[in-house]
Amino acid sequence: MSQIKRIFGSSFTMMNGLLLAFISLNISTASAADAISTPATMSEKTRPKIGLALSGGGAKGAAHLGVIKYLEKHNIPVDYISGTSMGSFIAGMYAMGRSTAEIELILAEYDWSQGYNDDVPREALSIREKQRQDSFQIHTNIGFDGTSVEYPSGFVQGQGMGKLLRLSTNSLPYVNHFDLLPIPYRAIATNIETMREVVLERGDLSKVMQASMSIPGALTPVFIDGQHLVDGGMVNNLPIGVLQEMGADIVIAVDIGSQLYSQEEITSAFLIFDQLSSSMTRASANEQILKLSEQDVLLSPDIDGIGTADFDLMPEAVVRGEKAAEYASAKLNALSLSDANYAVYQQQKAARKQQLAQIETIEINDIKINTDTRLSPRVIENKLSLKRGDKITVAELEQELDGLYALNLFQKVDYSITEKDGLHDLNINVVEKSWGPGYVDFKFNIQQSTTSDDSQQIGLQYILSDLNRLGGEWRTELVYGSDSNISTEFYSPIDYNQYFFFKTGVRLENYESKLYLGSVNDPALTPINSTFEYFPVKTEQIGVFAELGAIPLEWMQIAVGSYYQSGTAEIIGTTIDKDFDSQGWYVKTRLDSFDNISFPTKGFKLDADVYIDTGDYLNSNENNIFFSLDWRNAVSLDRSTLEFKASVASYDGPAISPTFEVGIGGFQNLSGYGINELTGNHKGLVALIYRHRLLDNNFGAFSLPLYLGASIEQGNVWNDTDDISFDSTITAGSMFVALDTGIGPVMLSYGYAEGGHASGYLFIGNNF
């Protein structure tokens, strides 16, 4: 397994488009440092200056911290420090004055795999964005501007990585020169245009680290001083020469880079790719190693079995780094200082750290919004809810940025801080997606049941965003399958806070349904009853709507609107068809705080609709009211989740209505029956669902959790309110096994209802 991770990790650097490499990326993690001034004693003035060079290697880079712990334990000073990729993070953290204990805590506290994941947690999305992602679950990040197809410059834009690095450095304000840090520091990056080495010696420390760590094709390049910068490992994975230029007399170099395979070990195409990509970083490291002299120290920790994405093994890497230093104790200990001299060295570092603009609480003096989007800066500032004069921590500021990024309109949202006289100017940088403003998503759903007809859907959604300064957008959907439709709608907030919105659209659809005869009381249909169990009905209709809505909270939406539908309902296999018109008013309420639509572990979801239909269908001459409510609530303990589900619906119009169908049946909806096998004018259902997450199947860049579960359900449908009673309800239940995948759940289940009704179900990509 470790060999596979190594293959994927190093191959990614060379194969920019190789998605498999996304599993184990050559990440770089964190570290802190204390700077140095020359103590006043004679021995200190005459001692050689020591530089520490740290190479890249993802999670393996935690071994660097073990080396530093050994150096501190044996009074070995570090006068200069440099790093590449993961090494730039550890080096930067140590250089800014972080203790080894602080760095170790940061490595353990944060989920470093999220550095290569920009996905916004579902519970943080707006309800509108949740509905879009739930329906069109294949998010491609493909852009289309009407003339050409565009793609992002990396699988990940760096939002997650930037957040981790800012939290790690506590958003240290801009440093005019890294020689001013407690330990003079340099980070190595690569100019992606010239493929030349760039030595970074000033700036925003977290941004500099990110540039050094941005693997081409995995992370979008970081723009600094007019250059697009990526991972420095391609040109200098072990920056020894930089330390010598800074003034280091002795260099301690820590090499955790991948070694090349022997001819006998190259047995597959993946190993060939790995060999090619490893040769780039290996060649640059070997070139630097040639610059070492007899007095320098080269450490090569044993990191076999630890892959670039094995973040859970970072504590083990720390131990191995310390052991590697112990093996070289004879040379290293010769560099030790006396306790008194080392104390002076530490004091000098502490004094230089005090001169840095360390941030405990940000006191906002001014806010500047830098954006290239059409969205008004007022909207952005209102979304952040920050004001001049506010006092806020870095963690709280990151939460504010998360809310802005959750709009899903931007490639990246970050910030920088400039400090003067204890006050902080906050520069918010909002970058529009470079591959927009039109985006394409897809859907793919399959439902199969042993007791009802199968259904399939494929669909495409095109979103044209950034239509106005308030955040307007135009969405068009094309869906083909058992239920087909073409629809388009325009949506726009109508205030700078985006609390209120207007939406209008048109929808053309063609679908088939079954109206079971047990729900039909019309004597005119009696001749058909003796031949068929249900009516197979084909409906074609076109509808238009317009609505006004409010979003009091991100997880709440209320809308009122007017609609008109016109179409034809035809009983398949007969000459019976009926034209119909449906028009009226509606009120819709949506509450949604679920963290996952298919397998929620926390939160709730409510859909409540009231329609007042004034149309004339089947001689219905009065206003008909349709009401439906669906409620789900989930609570979890460790790996187990209980979900409660309740659903009611009522329609006081004709029993056969192509616009308002009240049905029950299907998985966890009276399991054992076919999908909507029972129909009527009134419905009631309650269910209790248990899920256990059996396996996480976490591969770093993505996961495929495996669930086992069961449900118990009680419900029925009725034609008349007088018939509704608990005694007339049906008991049912189900068992299932499911995977949560990138295209939605893949689930196999079995359901049984009293009376001998049983059914098997298969879902692929369906959000049930």
Q: Distance from CA of residue 79 to its chain's centroid?
A: 40
Q: Using the 8-state DSSP alphabet, how is residue 337 labeled?
A: P
Q: Is the pLDDT of residue 110 over 50?
A: yes
Query: Can you give the length of the chain in residues?
Result: 768
Cα distances (Å, whole numbers) of residue 254 to 107, 156, 225, 318, 476:
19, 29, 29, 13, 55
d(CA 490, CA 472): 8
Residue type, 619: N
The CATH number of whichever domain residue 423 belongs to comes to 3.10.20.310
- Judge whether 54 and 30 are in contact, CB under 8 Å: no
Listed in sequence order, the residues at least 6 apart from 604 whose beta carbon sits closer than 8 Å to its beta carbon are: 591, 592, 593, 594, 631, 632, 633, 634
Q: What angle do CA 408, 414, 416 make, to 5 degrees?
A: 165
Q: Is the pLDDT of residue 36 over 50?
A: no
> Of 333, 355, 377, which one is at a domain's C-terminal end?
355
What values do phi and psi take at 249, rounded to 5?
-85, -35
Residue whose entry in the numeric block shows the structure tokens 């802005």? 404
Q: Is the pLDDT of residue 517 over 60?
A: no
User: Strand locations in 55-150, DSSP E?
Assistant: 80-84, 138-144, 149-150
Please state the rounded mean pLDDT for residues 126-147.
Answer: 86
Handedness of CA 184, 188, 191, 194 (dihedral sign): positive
pLDDT category of residue 657 using cuts at 50, 70 and 90: low
Residue 132 lies in a domain: no
The CATH number of whichever domain residue 213 belongs to comes to 3.40.1090.10
d(CA 663, CA 681): 8
Residue 138 lies in a domain: no
Residue 621 shares a structural domain with residue 570: yes
> Of 293, 324, 355, which one is at a domain's C-terminal end?
355
Q: Using the 8-state DSSP alphabet, how is residue 674 labeled?
A: P
- Judge whether 721 and 639 are in contact, CB under 8 Å: no
Which 3 state secondary structure label does DSSP give 72? helix
Q: Is the pLDDT of residue 675 over 70?
A: yes
- Judge whether 103 and 31 are in contact, CB under 8 Å: yes
Residue 380 shares a structural domain with residue 336: no
Average pLDDT over all residues of the chain: 85
Reported as a single tens digit per residue, the pLDDT across 600-637 is 999 999 999 999 988 765 555 568 899 999 999 999 99
Domain count, the chain: 3
Q: Distance from CA of residue 446 to its chain's centroid?
A: 25
Which residues are catalytic, by number?
85, 231
Residue 428 shares a structural domain with residue 447: no
Please state the rounded mean pLDDT for residues 104-124.
Answer: 87
Residue 442 shares a structural domain with residue 459: yes
Residue 39: the pLDDT is: 37
Residue 345 shares a structural domain with residue 294: yes
Q: Is the pLDDT of residue 15 over 50?
A: no
Residue 715: the pLDDT is: 96
Residue 103 shares a structural domain with residue 171: yes
Residue 16 lies in a domain: no
Residue 758: the pLDDT is: 94
Residue 348 shares a structural domain with residue 314: yes
**Can you give the C-alpha Rg of the chain in angstroms?**
31
And the tokens for 274? 């790995």
Residue 750 lies in a domain: yes
d(CA 764, CA 738): 10
Which 3 state secondary structure label does DSSP give 591? strand
Nearest CA-CA partner of 218 in 500, 457, 13, 442: 13
d(CA 662, CA 577): 20
- Judge whether 711 and 689 are in contact, CB under 8 Å: yes
Residue 754: the pLDDT is: 93
- Judge whether 167 and 398 are in contact, CB under 8 Å: yes
Residue 748: the pLDDT is: 95
Residue type, 313: L
Residue 619 shares a structural domain with residue 683: yes
Residue 552 shares a structural domain with residue 516: yes
Least confident window among 64-73, 88-97, 237-246, 532-541: 532-541
- The answer to whether the predicted template modeling score (pTM) of the entire model surpasses 0.85 is no
The CATH number of whichever domain residue 442 belongs to comes to 2.40.160.50
Please state the rounded mean pLDDT for residues 277-286.
Answer: 71
Residue 2: the pLDDT is: 40
Residue whose entry in the numeric block shows the structure tokens 């199968």? 454
The string of DSSP letters for 16-41 reads TT-GGGGGS---------------SS
Cα distances (Å, whole numbers) of residue 381 to 158, 390, 396, 400:
22, 13, 15, 10
Nearest CA-CA partner of 63 in 387, 308, 235: 308
Residue 380 shares a structural domain with residue 281: no
Q: Is the pLDDT of residue 123 over 70?
A: yes
Residue 3 lies in a domain: no
Residue 498 lies in a domain: yes
Least confident window among 399-408, 437-446, 619-628, 705-714: 619-628
Residue 582 lies in a domain: yes
Residue 328 shares a structural domain with residue 463: no
> Of 432, 465, 484, which one is at a domain's C-terminal end?
432
Q: Higher confidence at residue 699 or residue 145?
A: 145
Residue 411 shares a structural domain with residue 540: no
d(CA 40, CA 57): 38
Residue 340 lies in a domain: yes
Domain region containing 423: 362-432
